[in-house]
Amino acid sequence: MSTIKNVISIQLTPENHLTWRSQVLKVFRANGLEGYLDGTVTRPPRQTTNVSGAVTPNTLFATWMLIDQNLAAALFSTISAPLLPYVLNLDSCAEIWETIGKRL
């Protein structure tokens, strides 16, 4: 996904939302990552409790965060500067995707 700008030929603007959305969705689907956009790959808990009651970091959370934040950065690289303020403070790809869908 680090080369998403090479695949997505346009930056998101209010005028080209449907074209941009179609391109992004196809790239995410082709890479098995659509669930990060639509929220079906959910954020695991940050910590887990083992059978003895000890709280430990959840490695699934760390993996999810790594993938999600890389995808969010890739999405940001395809969004025009005037639209970035609407999504920069959001925490996940799914939130970015949903917000863009509602605003445009």
Say whether pLDDT at 75 is over 80: yes
Helices (H) and strands (E) in the chain, counts: 5, 2
Question: How many domains are contained in the chain?
Answer: 1
Choice between 25 and 2, residue whose per-residue pLDDT is larger: 25
Tell me what pLDDT residue 91 has: 94
b/e per residue 92-101 (b: at least 16 CB within 10 A): bbbebbbebe
* Residue 49 reports pLDDT greater than 90: yes
In sequence order, what DSSP letters do the residues of 43-65 get, joined into one string? PPPSEEE-TTS-EEE-HHHHHHH
Distance from CA of residue 91 to its chain's centroid?
A: 9
Please compute the mean of the pLDDT values over residues 67-80 and round it to a whole number. Answer: 96
- Quick one: what percent of the chain has pLDDT higher than 70? 98
Give mean pLDDT, residues 38-67. 97
State which residues form the domain around 22: 4-103
